[in-house]
Structure 1
Amino acid sequence: MPKEFARKVTDDLIDLTKDKHFNFRVIEASDIDEKPESALHHPLRYHRLSIKENLGFVKLEWLEGNIGYLKIIRFNNFNDVKDRIVAAIKFMENANAIIIDIRDNGGGSGDILGSYFLKYPTQLTGWYSREDDFLTESWTLKDIGIEPMTDVPLFLLTSDKTFSASESFAYDMKVNKRAVLVGDTTKGGANSVDLFQIDNQFEIYIPTARAINPLTGSNWDGIGVIPDISVPSETALDTAIVLARIAGEKYANLKEAKLKTAVDEMQSHLNNAERLYNNVKIKEADAELDSVFQIGGSNKLINEFFINVLAYHYLSQNVELILFAILKKNIELYPKSFSAYETLAYTYHKFGKTELAIENFKKVLELDPYNPNALKMIERLKK
């Protein structure tokens, strides 16, 4: 039988070369009936696989203890999955620790995750081609759609099925001391491959480039990536959760101490701003308020809700100058937010500033043309 023959050839090639990337196999038609020899065969096969596997992203969870958990079973082309990675990182951005599960990850199109957890620029494992006598370097990327999480405790789950590109990610994280690996030693396939068609029945994956890590000068081929915490892969998640909670608590305490320092600084500048606005020293007061927002922004405190709650404090006390300065700051930071203009418009209305209220309700309509409340308020205020 062709499949049995192909498996035998593959086993023999691996025995001879000790390279687990060799794969001699039968070309098979897919279930949409295109011919195996068609140029569309492999693009369609990968397309259908990406749909079946959701481009490799199969589980994203928030675990007890503020732990983010992401399971990826394949590394697809970075540009194809960038939006998914960014969405996953945003989901986990408040985590005190992160667990990435690559136990069932058989590889794919290179390391797609390293840039999100290492500082830019960091050199990663590259690929040496003997045919070209050239080392293709690999570095973390700058344009990744979000700030990298370079200090959150990171745990990777591995198994003897973790292979190729996912091993490269694990190896880079380990040698850069960025993650703790938990589980079994990985499968041990480090070399890059190309696919060659032999005839209308068989094709073969052949290694064509050797992985070389810039820190070790070596790779994991035939050895696998050895975990920091060696446990059966079946229990790796349970073990990692225990470790993540311990590391996460320490990380949370550090974050809280940093936040307290930032809040103390913000309060000092806010007190100064209140005093200066009360004395109608607008320029100096604005500078103090700017410092409040700069410190808050650098500590990821500032968003529209934060600003609105802060503004409400002064609205409830009818403290006018600092209130409007805060609401204008909201518009400066979120110029495309109709709700920022809407809040300012209602506040102007409350303080009897009709023309300014109408002006800002009109801005609401520019951003949200069918906003019924803005339309009604403009009609009411014009009467």
Structure 2
Amino acid sequence: MTTSTTLSPAPVIDETARLVAEHYVFPETADQVADLLRRRLAEGAYDAGGAEELARLVTADLQSVNADRHLRLKHHAEPVSPEQGAATLAAMRRDFDASLGGAPRVQLLDGGVAVLELGPMLFPLDWAAEPLAAALTLVSRAPSLVIDLRGNRGGDPDSVAFVCSYLLDRRTHLNTMHWRHREGGEQSWSLPHVPGARFGGSKPLYVLTSGSTFSAAEELAYDLQQLGRATIVGEPTLGGAHPCKGWTVHPHLEATIPVGRAVNPVSQANWEGTGVQPDVPCAATDALETAHALARAATTEA
């Protein structure tokens, strides 16, 4: 089903502006963005076109104030549930079922270099713990490991901590989330125990990134980089460090609004706007070959 017919933009804009003002992690910016949407509506900027075009126009305006890539009006071709977060969750479930639970590739290259692709997302941990544990246990025996995040567009911070737990030797503070409507911060730590076997915290580890790597996948790369645990190979990532929630504002439209911000305990900063900068810059298409060569050299030297 497509949504090429026109719609009345006013109810969508009114509700989106209200949600941004109430929930966006930066209150002052939230008011600016909400005022901008209402002003653009009054100017007639959203009058022409259907739901898909409205999503494009509104997203451009939402991101025009501070370039927050998580702040969006998402179009869904099929009608979605009005329940909060249901639209995103349904789409994620389809991807989960089509990707072996988010671990679509495990490969052993020459020299004993294991490759584990995580994508297209880091799915909710209550879904993904079993396939992630199986894949991470399988590669634990390799002398070196490459984790491919080039096509990973984000997901669950709890799954980030779960993956990190297999790549470290001891319980480690990874990140702290600060929320709009909560006092203090919520710390994220690696787990003291994991199902299966750990790859551990000493063998060579490489993480592949691209200009499409986003959100929780960026956190995984950034956390490991800040801890000095992994070498990042590839391209700078997209630069989205604000966890978000989704609200259905029309049967085909979902407002996704960041409700928190990440602060890394090592850098006291995050990757918002700048992306994760690779330690070994190269084209994403060359990243696996580059990391493979680095891993083989490191294993030979050891």
TM-score after normalising by structure 2: 0.77
Measured after TM superposition, the shift of residue 125 of structure 1 is 1.4
One-letter code of the match for 1:116?
Y
1:146 lines up with 2:196 in the alignment? yes
Partner of 1:202: 253
1:81 to 124, 128, 146: 128
Partner secondary structure for residue 53 of structure 1? coil
Measured after TM superposition, the shift of residue 2 of structure 1 is 1.7
1:45 to 84, 87, 91: 91
Distance in 2 between residues matched to 1:141 and 1:24, nearest whole Å: 35
1:59 lines up with 2:105 in the alignment? yes
Answer yes or no: is the 8 Å Cα contact 1:66–1:94 preserved in 2.
no
Partner of 1:275: none
C-alpha distance 43-177 of structure 1, shift in aligned 2 (>3 A): closer
1:5 lines up with 2:54 in the alignment? yes
C-alpha distance 157-123 of structure 1, shift in aligned 2 (>3 A): same
One-letter code of the match for 1:24?
L
Answer yes or no: is the 8 Å Cα contact 1:103–1:158 preserved in 2.
yes
Distance in 1 between residues matched to 2:247 and 2:52, nearest whole Å: 17
1:24 lines up with 2:62 in the alignment? no
1:69 lines up with 2:115 in the alignment? yes
Greater relative contact order (CA < 8 Å, ≥ 6 in sequence): 2
C-alpha distance 156-48 of structure 1, shift in aligned 2 (>3 A): same
Distance in 1 between residues matched to 2:203 and 2:60, nearest whole Å: 42
2:63 to 14, 25, 35: 14
Answer yes or no: is the 8 Å Cα contact 1:118–1:150 preserved in 2.
yes
Distance in 1 between residues matched to 2:246 and 2:237, nearest whole Å: 23
C-alpha distance 44-196 of structure 1, shift in aligned 2 (>3 A): closer
Task: Extract unaligned runs of 5+ from structure 2.
Answer: 1-49
Answer yes or no: is the 8 Å Cα contact 1:96–1:249 preserved in 2.
no
Partner of 1:227: 278
One-letter code of the match for 1:5?
L
Answer yes or no: is the 8 Å Cα contact 2:92–2:123 preserved in 1.
no
C-alpha distance 199-4 of structure 1, shift in aligned 2 (>3 A): closer
1:55-204 matches, within 5 Å, as 55-73=101-119, 74-110=121-157, 111=160, 112-148=162-198, 149-204=200-255
Measured after TM superposition, the shift of residue 54 of structure 1 is 2.2
One-letter code of the match for 2:139?
M
One-letter code of the match for 2:58?
V
Answer yes or no: is the 8 Å Cα contact 2:167–2:201 preserved in 1.
yes
Measured after TM superposition, the shift of residue 197 of structure 1 is 2.1
Measured after TM superposition, the shift of residue 139 of structure 1 is 0.2
Partner secondary structure for residue 36 of structure 1? coil
Runs of 4 or more off by more than 6 Å in structure 1? none
Measured after TM superposition, the shift of residue 113 of structure 1 is 1.2
Partner secondary structure for residue 289 of structure 2? helix
Distance in 1 between residues matched to 2:156 and 2:274, nearest whole Å: 21
Which structure has the larger Rg?
1
Distance in 2 between residues matched to 1:216 and 1:156, nearest whole Å: 19
C-alpha distance 206-186 of structure 1, shift in aligned 2 (>3 A): same
Distance in 2 between residues matched to 1:26 and 1:163, nearest whole Å: 19
Q: Matched residue pairs, number?
A: 246
One-letter code of the match for 2:215?
S
The alignment-based identity, stated in percent, is: 30
Aligned-residue CA RMSD (Å) = 1.7
Distance in 1 between residues matched to 2:136 and 2:250, nearest whole Å: 44
Identify, as 1 or 2, the structure richer in helix: 1
Distance in 1 between residues matched to 2:261 and 2:88, nearest whole Å: 24
Partner secondary structure for residue 65 of structure 2? helix
- Of 101-110 and 89-98, more deviation after overlay is shown by 89-98
Partner secondary structure for residue 100 of structure 1? strand
Measured after TM superposition, the shift of residue 248 of structure 1 is 1.5
Partner secondary structure for residue 57 of structure 1? coil
Answer yes or no: is the 8 Å Cα contact 2:235–2:278 preserved in 1.
yes
1:234-245 matches, within 5 Å, as 234-245=285-296
Measured after TM superposition, the shift of residue 47 of structure 1 is 2.3
Measured after TM superposition, the shift of residue 38 of structure 1 is 5.7
One-letter code of the match for 1:199?
H
Q: Which deviations, in whole Å up to 9, do the C-alpha atoms of 1:141-195 show, x marking residues without a partner?
A: 1231134311110000001101000100100000100000000001000011011
Measured after TM superposition, the shift of residue 27 of structure 1 is 4.0
Answer yes or no: is the 8 Å Cα contact 2:208–2:288 preserved in 1.
yes
Measured after TM superposition, the shift of residue 42 of structure 1 is 5.1
Q: Which deviations, in whole Å up to 9, do the C-alpha atoms of 1:37-63 show, x marking residues without a partner?
A: 365655543322211222221111011
C-alpha distance 57-234 of structure 1, shift in aligned 2 (>3 A): same
- Of 168-177 and 73-82, more deviation after overlay is shown by 73-82
Distance in 1 between residues matched to 2:290 and 2:178, nearest whole Å: 36
